Amino acid sequence: MGVQLRSLIAAALAAVLLGAAPATTRLYSAPAGNRPAGIPHPDLPYVAILPSGRIVAPVGRSIAIGANVNALALIPGGRFAVVGGSAASGGTLLRTIDTRTMQIVARVTNTGSRSEAIGGLIALHDPAMPARTILVASEARAGKIAIFAVGSEGTLAQLHPGISLPGGDPEPMHLALAESGHLLLVADDRNGRVDTIDLATRRPIASMSVGALPSGLAAFGPRIFAAGAAADASNLAIRSLDSSAVSSENIPLDAPLDGATTIGGVDPESVAIEPGGRFAYVTLAGVDRVVAVALDASPRVVDGIDLRLFANAPYGTMPTAMVPSMTGRELFVALSGLNAVAVLDASTPGVLHRLGLIPTGARPVALSLAPNDKVLFVANAEGNGVNATLERIALTKIPLERTTLSALRYARVSHLVRGNALVPPLRSGRKSDAISHVVDISLGPTYFNSTPNLRALANDFAVVGDYYADAPNGELGSQLTYSGTISPSAWLLDTFRGRRAVEAMPPDLYPRSGYIVNALARAGMSYRVYGAMLPEGPLAIGIPLLHVLHGAVGYAPKVGERASDRALASAFVARYSREAASGNIPAYQAIELSSNNPLVQDRALGKIVEAIVKSEAWGSTAIFISPRQAIGATTADPKHSFAVIVSPYARRGFLGHAHASTASVLKTEEEILGLPALSLGDLLASDLANYFTPTLDLSVPNIRTNERMQR
Which of 31-35, 376-380, 468-472, 567-571 has the lowest average pLDDT?
A: 468-472
More confident: 547 or 348: 348
What DSSP line would sit under 49-85, residue for residue?
Answer: E-TTS-EE--SSEEEE--S-EEEEEEPTTSSEEEEEE
Distance CA 517, CA 665 (A): 15
Q: Specify the pLDDT at position 653.
A: 94
Averaged pLDDT, 395-418: 95
| Domains of the chain in sequence order | 48-413 (2.130.10.10), 420-484+513-690 (3.40.720.10)
The most confident of 365-379, 445-459, 549-563, by mean pLDDT? 365-379
Distance CA 393, CA 654 (A): 45
Helix ranges (H only) for 555-646 are 565-582, 598-613
Q: Specify the pLDDT at position 490.
A: 87
Q: Which of 250, 289, 272, 265 is nearest to 325 (CA)?
A: 272
What DSSP line would sit under 612-628, residue for residue?
Answer: HHTSGGGGGEEEEEEES
Q: Specify the pLDDT at position 6.
A: 45
Q: At what angle do helices 662-673 and 474-483 cross, to 10 degrees?
A: 30
Q: Report whether 464 contacts 188 (CB < 8 A).
A: no
Apex 300 CA angle, 513 and 330, nearest 5: 80
Percent above pLDDT 90 for the chain:
72
Q: Specify the pLDDT at position 635.
A: 45
Averaged pLDDT, 505-514: 84
More confident: 508 or 121: 121
Q: Specify the pLDDT at position 638.
A: 65
Contacts of 689 (CB under 8 A, 6+ apart): 420, 422, 423, 425, 668, 671
Q: Report whether 120 contacts 135 (CB < 8 A).
A: no
The most confident of 16-20, 535-539, 645-649, by mean pLDDT? 645-649
Q: Specify the pLDDT at position 656.
A: 95
The yes-or-no verdict on residue 565 having pLDDT over 90 is: yes
Q: Which of 705, 709, 668 is nearest to 685 (CA)?
A: 668
Q: Specify the pLDDT at position 710.
A: 42
Amino acid residing at 255: A
For 360-476, where are the E strands, in sequence order? 362-369, 375-383, 389-394, 413-417, 437-443, 462-468
Q: Report whether 281 contacts 289 (CB < 8 A).
A: no
Distance CA 21, CA 277 (A): 58
Distance CA 664, CA 28 (A): 11
Averaged pLDDT, 598-606: 93
Burial (CB count within 10 angstroms: exposed 0-12, middle 13-18, buried 19+), residue 234: buried
Burial (CB count within 10 angstroms: exposed 0-12, middle 13-18, buried 19+), residue 558: exposed
Averaged pLDDT, 283-291: 97
Q: Identify the helix (H) or strand (E) that includes residue 293.
A: strand 289-294
The yes-or-no verdict on residue 149 having pLDDT over 60 is: yes
Distance CA 679, CA 689 (A): 19
Q: Report whether 244 contacts 293 (CB < 8 A).
A: no
Distance CA 431, CA 523 (A): 12
Question: Is the whole model's pTM more than 0.95, yes or no?
Answer: no
Distance CA 106, CA 233 (A): 42
Q: Report DSSP state, residue 671.
A: H
Contacts of 374 (CB under 8 A, 6+ apart): 394, 395, 396
The yes-or-no verdict on residue 286 having pLDDT over 90 is: yes
Distance CA 658, CA 680 (A): 20
Q: In the predicted model, what is the mean pLDDT of the chain?
A: 89
Neighbours of 506 (CB within 10 A): 23
pLDDT digits (tens, 9 = 90+) for 427-483: 999 999 999 999 999 998 766 667 899 999 999 999 999 999 988 888 888 999 999
Burial (CB count within 10 angstroms: exposed 0-12, middle 13-18, buried 19+), residue 298: exposed
Q: Specify the pLDDT at position 554.
A: 92
Distance CA 469, CA 483 (A): 14
Q: Specify the pLDDT at position 501.
A: 38
Q: Specify the pLDDT at position 229.
A: 76
Distance CA 592, CA 377 (A): 41
The yes-or-no verdict on residue 709 having pLDDT over 50 is: no
Averaged pLDDT, 221-241: 86
**Looking at the chain, how many residues does it have?**
711
Distance CA 432, CA 426 (A): 11
What is the rounded radius of gyration, in angstroms, for the C-alpha atoms of the chain? 26
Q: Specify the pLDDT at position 457.
A: 95
The yes-or-no verdict on residue 230 having pLDDT over 80 is: no
More confident: 256 or 495: 256
Q: Report DSSP state, residue 494.
A: I
Q: Identify the helix (H) or strand (E) that includes residue 203.
A: strand 203-209
Q: Report whether 326 contacts 368 (CB < 8 A).
A: no
Give the distance between the most distant pair of CA atoms in the chain.
91
- List 616's β-bridge partners, or say none: none
Apex 516 CA angle, 673 and 407, nearest 5: 95
